[in-house]
Amino acid sequence: MGIVNVTPDSFSDGGKFFTLESAYKHSINLLKDGADILDVGGESSRPGSKPISTEQELSRTIPLINKICSNFPKAIISIDTTKAVVAEKAIISGAKIINDISGLTNDSEMVRVASKYGVPVVIMHMQGKPDNMQENPIYDDLIGDIKSFFIERIKYANRFGIKTPQIILDPGIGFGKTFQDNFRLINQLEKFCELKLPVLIGPSRKSFIGIALNEKPENRIEGTSAAVAAGILKGASIVRVHDVSQIRKVVKIIDLIRAA
């Protein structure tokens, strides 16, 4: 899954692909690099970020999705949003997946949209919201608490017509987690795989890697590669990354190791 941030303030590439043309060019490059999915988002979720209006988010994402789908109709696009209106308009424009970092908690209408269109939906765990999630994240039992959250959210989704096979789980690396929590999530990822649903991870260029290696976001490819490799070996089905070309090579070697 290649990341397309159409935002001025994302932690790693904010402002870099903020215009329609630059975002479109970036999307095409990710597809050429081997991205299976493009995750298009118009609202930053970096620690401390503030919400934007629905109109702003629509203006950033829908023209891009329309342009990609017009020129690459087979492209699989995920809409990274917590707003049902944005998700629905994105699906009508050609998006095939909803990636909701709020885990279906921000907008009660999101379940209706996912159920109506029958698309896969990513349910992510986050303690708090982006503007406060890193203030002091504390868990009684990190893995157990997140697993319980997933079980509750699956039941909630089912009640509103979302079928279990539509659901993808994301433990939310970097979202309301401490430095050590992020490593523990990857190390014990198989606990979430016990729920028999695909697991997505998004460690790409995140601050826990930067702290560990004392590197800026653009220099975290080695750390990201290590996190991705460990995550896949622990059961991750989807990896959300910035550096698709490099990570495709990592994934290829992991696949060969597992097949040997």
pLDDT at site 10: 55
Backbone angles phi, psi at 78, to 5 degrees: -105, 135
Q: What is the SS3 assignment for 98?
A: strand
Going from N- to C-terminal start, the domains of the chain cover 2-259
Backbone angles phi, psi at 123, to 5 degrees: -105, 110
pLDDT at site 44: 85
- Residue 216 among the catalytic residues: no
Taking only the tens place, the pLDDT of each residue in 126-184 is 998 877 778 888 999 999 999 999 999 999 999 999 999 999 999 999 999 999 999 99
pLDDT at site 11: 53
| Catalytic-labelled residue, pool 147, 206, 220, 234 | 206
Taking only the tens place, the pLDDT of each residue in 45-102 is 877 777 899 999 999 999 999 999 999 999 999 999 999 999 999 999 999 999 999 9
| pLDDT cut 70: percent of the chain above it | 97
- Residue 206 among the catalytic residues: yes
The answer to whether 152 and 200 have CB atoms below 8 angstroms apart is: no
pLDDT at site 150: 99
Residue 110 has pLDDT above 60, yes or no: yes
Q: 2-259 has which CATH code?
A: 3.20.20.20
Residue 13 has pLDDT above 60, yes or no: no
CB atoms within 10 A of CB 215: 15
The answer to whether 123 and 106 have CB atoms below 8 angstroms apart is: no
Strand 38-41 with 77-80, pairing: parallel
Looking at residues 105-129, what average pLDDT do you find? Answer: 96
For residue 45, give the nearest of 19, 95, 74, 7 by alpha carbon: 7
Q: What does the CA dihedral 102, 106, 135, 201 come to, rounded to 10 degrees? A: 10
| Catalytic-labelled residue, pool 240, 248, 249, 258 | 240
Provide the H-helix boundaries in 131-218: 142-159, 179-187, 190-193, 207-213
Residue 12 has pLDDT above 70, yes or no: no
For residue 152, give the nearest of 121, 186, 125, 185 by alpha carbon: 125
Looking at residues 105-125, what average pLDDT do you find? Answer: 98
